[in-house]
Amino acid sequence: MIGLRDGWRLAIGSALAAALLGLAACGGGASAPEAASLPPPGPDSRVGDFRGVAAVIADEPQAAAVGRSVLEQGGNVADAATALYFALSVTHPAAASLGGGGICLYREAAGRSAESYDFLVREARAGGSIGLPGNVAGFGLLHERHGRLPWKALLVPAMGLAESGADVSPTLARRLAGAAGRIAASPTLATRFRASDGKVLAAGNRLYQPELAITLSFIREGGAAAFYKGILAHSIAEAVQQLDGAVRFDDLASYEVGLAPAQGTDGAARALYAPSQRTGAGILHAAVTNRTLAQSRGVLPTGLGLVDSVEAELSTRGAPKLPRDVGSTVFLVADAKGEAVACALTMGVPFGAGLAVPQLGIVLPPSPDGTAGLASALLAPVIVADPKGGDLYGVAVGAGGSWGIASALEAGLAASTANGMGIAQIALGGLASETAPVDVLLCPGGIMAAPETCRFGAFAPDGVALAVQAAP
C-alpha cells in the first residue's frame, strides 16, 4: 500500500509525472483510479473516477493533501478550502502568498445559488507600488460563513509546514527557476528562496519559513482580523513603508471582501455560476460567454473558439500583452452532497512585487494596475448546479491567461448542457497552457444522483498536479 507521504516522494522524483492518490469510500488502500477508457491527456495531468465522498484538486500536492486530511477529520468543503489555502501560502508563495488575492465561488449543499467572494489585491489610498493583500480576509469570511471545524485547527497544518519545512514541489521549483533573476535582485527574496550555493531552491529541497510560522500563529489566535488590525497589521504597514510602499495601517484596517451572489444563467435546469460582475473577472466571463454563444449558433463552442473570444475581448478593452506567467494558482473542493468551492488566486506576477517582509515571511503584492490588475481579471472559477436546490454537475477553475479561462468555461458549458464531455478530451484540446493551471470535476449525471458518472482532473503542464479523494 502506498501512503500519502510515499506517493509525494514518488512525485518529487519526476518533474513530468503527477501524483494521483485515491482512497475508496470503504477506506481501503491508496490506488490509482481506472481511466483506461479515455486516452491519456498528457504526462503532466491525471484524470480519475470519483469514488470517494469528496474530491480535492490543486496544482500543489502538499496543500491538496492538507485539504483531504481536513475532510477526513470531519471538516466540510469550506474547512478544507481554508486549510488548503493557508498550506498553499507556505508551499506556493509564488502565487498564493499571504500577500496575494483572488476570487472564490461557494455553493452550499443543495443550494439554490452560489456566492462570489472577491478578495483581490486593492490599491492603497496613497497609491504606491505595493498593494493591499486580500487572501487572509477572503478565506476568513468563507470560514466564518460556512466552516464547521474551529478556525484554530485549520491553521495548524500550514504552521507545521512553515516551521518544520516543506519540500519544494516541481510546481514551485519551476516558478523559482523562472524568477531566478528577480529573486537574485531582491535581497528579501534571495535570503528565503536561494540555497547556500547561490542558486534558487530546486525540487526536493527543503524550504524553512519560521517567520511565516509566527505570522500564521498570530492569524490562528486572532482570526483573519489579526492580519488587518492590531499589532500584526501595524508591523505589516511599517515594513511596507520601509520598502518604500504606501500601505498604511488604516488601509489594512478598512479592507473588505466583496461578497455578492454569483452571476448565473436564468431559467436553466443547470445554471452556470461565475464571479459577480462587480469584478473584472465576472465582466470578462459574461462578455466571452455571450460572444462565443452568439458566434457558435447553438452549437457547443470548442475550446479554441473560447480562446479566440477571450483574446478578442481583451483586445477590444485595450489590454496589454500578458507576460508568460502572471503568478496564478487554482484549486477546488467538492463533496457528494453537492457542496463546492472553486478558487483562483494570483500575485499579479510570480512573487508579486518582488519583495518580502523578512520578519513576517510575507511576499508582497504589486499594486493592481497594468499587468498585475489584468491578472485579476483572468481568474475563472465556475460551478454548474441545479438552481432549484438540486444536484451539482460540475466545478472548474482556470487562471493565468486566455487558455486557462477558456478551459474552465469549456468544462462549465459542457456540464451546463449535459454534454458529458470527458476530462481527457478537454485536456487533449491543448487548453492547459504552460502557466495556466486548470482543475475540473464533471458529473454528467449529478454528483448526488449518479456519482459514478463523475470524472475529475488536474491539468498543470508547468508543474505537478495532485488530485485526491477523501474517504470517511
Give 119-152 pLDDT, tens digit per residue: 999 999 999 999 999 999 999 999 999 999 999 9
Distance of CA 248 to the CA centre of its chain: 28
Alpha-carbon distance of 95 to 202, in angstroms, equals: 17
Q: Can you give the pLDDT at residue 401?
A: 81
**pLDDT tens digit string along 283-300?**
999 999 888 878 876 677
The three cell numbers of residue 374 are 489584468
Alpha-carbon distance of 83 to 69, in angstroms, equals: 9
9 CB-near residues (< 8 Å, 6+ apart): none
The single residue listed with the C-alpha cell 516558478 is 175
Phi, psi of 314 (to 5 degrees): -65, -40
Alpha-carbon distance of 293 to 122, in angstroms, equals: 33
Residue 463 pLDDT greater than 50, yes or no = no
Dihedral sign (CA 380, 386, 389, 393): negative
- Stretch among 35-39, 149-153, 234-238 having the lowest mean pLDDT: 35-39
**pLDDT tens digit string along 208-224?**
999 999 999 999 999 99
Q: How confident is the model at residue 471 (pLDDT cuts 50, 70, 90)?
A: low
**pLDDT tens digit string along 370-428?**
777 888 999 999 999 999 988 999 999 999 888 888 889 988 988 888 766 666 566 54
Q: How confident is the model at residue 59 (pLDDT cuts 50, 70, 90)?
A: confident
What integer is the mean pLDDT of 431-456?
Answer: 82
Does the reported pTM lie above 0.85? yes
> What residue ranges do the domains of the chain occupy?
4-470
What integer is the mean pLDDT of 300-311?
Answer: 81
Alpha-carbon distance of 22 to 29, in angstroms, equals: 8
Residue 42 pLDDT greater than 50, yes or no = no
Pseudo-torsion of CA 446, 450, 453, 459, nearest 10°? Answer: 50
| Bridge partner residues of 273 (DSSP) | 264, 383
- Residue, of 132 and 268, whose pLDDT is higher: 132
Residue 128 burial class via C-beta count within 10 angstroms: exposed 0-12, middle 13-18, buried 19 and up = buried
> What's the longest Cα–Cα distance across the chain?
61
**pLDDT tens digit string along 62-118?**
999 999 999 989 999 999 999 999 999 999 999 999 999 999 999 999 888 899 999
Q: How confident is the model at residue 318 (pLDDT cuts 50, 70, 90)?
A: confident
Q: How confident is the model at residue 25 (pLDDT cuts 50, 70, 90)?
A: very low
Residue 19 pLDDT greater than 50, yes or no = no
Residue 46 pLDDT greater than 70, yes or no = no
What integer is the mean pLDDT of 311-329?
Answer: 86
- Stretch among 45-49, 203-207, 336-340, 364-368 having the lowest mean pLDDT: 45-49
Residue 367 pLDDT greater than 80, yes or no = yes
The three cell numbers of residue 96 are 498564493
Start-to-end CA span in the chain (Å): 18
Residue 185 pLDDT greater than 50, yes or no = yes
CA-wise closest residue to 355 among 62, 128, 82: 128
Q: Is residue 40 a contact partner of residue 20, using CB atoms and an 8 Å limit?
A: no
